[in-house]
Structure 1
Amino acid sequence: MHVLLIEDEAIAAEKLALLIHRHDPTITILATLDSVKSAVVWLRANPAPDLIFLDIHLSDGQSFDIFQQVEVHVPIIFTTAYNEYAIKAFEVNSIDYLLKPIKPEDVARGLEKYESIRQEWQQQSPFHYQELAELINKPTQAAYKQRFLVKVGTKMFSIHVDEIAYFYTADKTVYLMTRDGRHIPIDYYLDQLANLLDPQVFIKANRQYILRHDAIESMHTYSSSRVKVKLIPEEPREVIISTDKVPQFKEWLDM
């Protein structure tokens, strides 16, 4: 079996590949892509894979944008951090999904479902990806995450989102930074957090950071078209907004 992975979180992609090979070492992973653009280029230039694992949110847009640019006629297993309402949309549309953080049994279930439908795939009606996209993007009454249960040493306690300045990745671990300067590891991926947090308050600035609007002290021009952000509390590493994200980032700050 030949599989294509489309996932913009490097850690999540590595884990998914590991779980796939743990389930079946004979599976060939043709490529691991991290954006709508790279996926479209690859799909246009290569024979179709047998199966695609596809994250909903990619570095340059929603994965549904891929289907507007290239025809995809192979089974897809979506990976998602969406809430229960959105998951029902996947079930209604007969598309399998893996809810992040992904577990070995989730991958096994998805691959076993693929095996069960592989022979009949060409005779099936096409999935209505546009309908699914509309269901996913439809506003719901579900509240955004307000608290995180964290563990420091032997103690466990709850941190309200109002106490959090930003989230970041370092050494394959995601941390939250509190307003008073505490770095606390949490068991989430950035993509998962981006879907759990209020987008009016937090934004995924790049692959390493999710920022709260009032944690941004200032912005500075960096090279010709990128922007460097200064944070509170201060972050020793450079926080750079890429060229393609700068317009969206500025619009978000001006809301």
Structure 2
Amino acid sequence: MTRSSTDQHTTQPVETGDVVLPSNALSIPEILAWHSIPQELITAMAGSSLAEGLERVIHFAPLPLTPGIPLALGGASGSGKSLTLAKLAARYARQARQSKGKLRQPLVLACDSTPGSYIKLASILRGCDLELVKAYGGMDPEEIDGQDRIILVDLPGLCVYSPTAMTEMREVIDRTKARLSLVVPAGMDPEESTDIAAAFHHCGADSLIASRMEQAGRIGSIITAAACGLSLTYGSYSGSINEGFTQLTPAILARRLLVLPG
């Protein structure tokens, strides 16, 4: 990983109140360590620019979202998956509205029966031109006319260490015939995110969305999760459903690792 000669000089992190921030004078490996990225990944990224190193250990790709094929968003409780789903739904609802009838409005299947979850999702999606359907336990989209429209599935938050919870998630995926995508928040413990990503990958997930990137300094959880074999797609930078949702690239992620939000 290369940086200017002045940036290679090693200094201690800067203390701001009770929070220790990385100094601009730290080397890139030291900054990556500050993000709690494991040493083996730091070593794998060494020898080139940070963007090139990221591209070696992570696969970046568009979100696999195709009309008529449901995409289920899952993750741990509190991971921001419902807001992430709402951002996607709002984006495609706008596209449908602007198409003047050429595109159908999105369909959202609310499969989380946790008390209050449906009301919360409906509140987030209020004002969006889409169809929201209660589908606790899952539902075959063919029963609701899902042809040629974007279909998003809101899964219950779960603990991947619970065999029962994982089995229930797989059953919902099977009933909805959905592809599975994982939502991982910035700031999560990287080892925890690795466990979650590995479990979702085992269940068939092939893509990853990073959430809450505006709320955390350390984002090592995103790197470690993506390194488990999930393609990194979008990053969420805002609590609004209408902004702060970007297709991540090696260059964008490298900049975010080096520059804290503020």
Normalised by the length of structure 2, the TM-score is 0.28
| Higher normalized strand content (fraction of residues) | 1
Normalised by the length of structure 1, the TM-score is 0.28
